[in-house]
Amino acid sequence: MPMRALITGISGQDGSYLAELLLSKGNEVHGVIRRASTFNTSRIDHIFDKLKLYYGDITDSGDVERVLKDSDPQEIYNLAAQSHVKVSFDSPTYTGDVVALGTARMLEGFRRICPGAKFYQASSSEMYGAVKASPQNEDTPFNPQSPYACGKLYAHHLSQTYRKAYELFICSGILFNHESPRRGETFVTRKITRAVGRIVAGLQTHVNLGNLDAKRDWGYAPDYVEAMWMMLNNYRPSDYVVATGETHTVREFAKEAFAVVGLDWEKYVKVDARYMRPAEVDLLLGDALKIRERLGWEPKTKFLGLVKAMVEADVRLARREALLRGNDAESFLGKA
């Protein structure tokens, strides 16, 4: 019989790639989506008929219990979150309700309803914050610098507590930044590549960014969801850092993104103080030795390959947008 997997946040970047991966392995995939006044399933529309979807919200304990009972999962991937760091400063209580208490509701429902299942918790490199040591591994002290990071740290520690107290199979993946053409457009990498496509298409003139010197360990989302699956398909639960072991600045990302289409990034990027965080995280660099040695996971996509894939996808998107606006998109195709 196929394995039944439940994904919260299935309509997000990671959820959509994970759903594809699980389907490719013959699993039965269930997912939770929030009811909204607009369609919010674009990332999973191509596999929509292969999924069993439930309307629900992890801020509602009743929803959590209903979905767990109806889906009866053998694997649970808790990916739902308000995951934008800057937004978490604007909406700290909502972020805490989703990220921290939402995980608490999921863990308690898991413990009560389907304790024989395996549970994956999406932790975050943002928990390291103002780093105490570099590179960061599973033993590096945490020092969160945002409401989002604080919520993730609560969820991370609570997952460890449930694993020990109730002897449950719970893994936390401390994932460093991971991007793709499905990344939300408000995140800096996608904001850059989206702007590249639109600038080449003549749809915008520049892009406003915040701290260009912030350094991040950027990987490719499909590689990282494979790590999630590997964690739950190991014989013992544990926590793992998932990272490339390379760090690059936002400036480097912008430079390489514009270079893909033969443009000088400095002519199009403007620094805007509105996009600075109240408390900045200057450097994140992961040490993924544990997952490499125990599970054999390795990132397959390098930094430049990631940037190129995102830019090319957003040039195609901008081409479609320009055509819809009645512009002559053919003139810029040779630049991409």
Catalytic residues: 124, 126, 148
DSSP letter assigned to residue 13 = H
Q: Which residues pair with 170 in a beta bridge?
A: 119
Pairing of strands 178-179, 219-220: parallel
Rounded Cα–Cα distance for residues 4 and 70 (Å): 11
Question: 145: exposed, middle or buried (C-beta count within 10 Å: 0-12, 13-18, 19+)?
Answer: buried
Residue 155, classified by CB atoms within 10 Å of its CB into exposed (0-12), middle (13-18) or buried (19+), is: buried
Q: b vs e for 298-320, b when ≥16 Cβ sit within 10 Å of the residue's Cβ?
A: ebebebeebbbbbbbbbbebbbe
Pair of tokens at residue 4: 């039944």
How many whole angstroms separate alpha carbon 287 and alpha carbon 89?
28
Q: Within a 10 A sphere around the Cβ of 231, how many other Cβ atoms?
A: 26
Cα–Cα dist 19/10, whole Å: 7
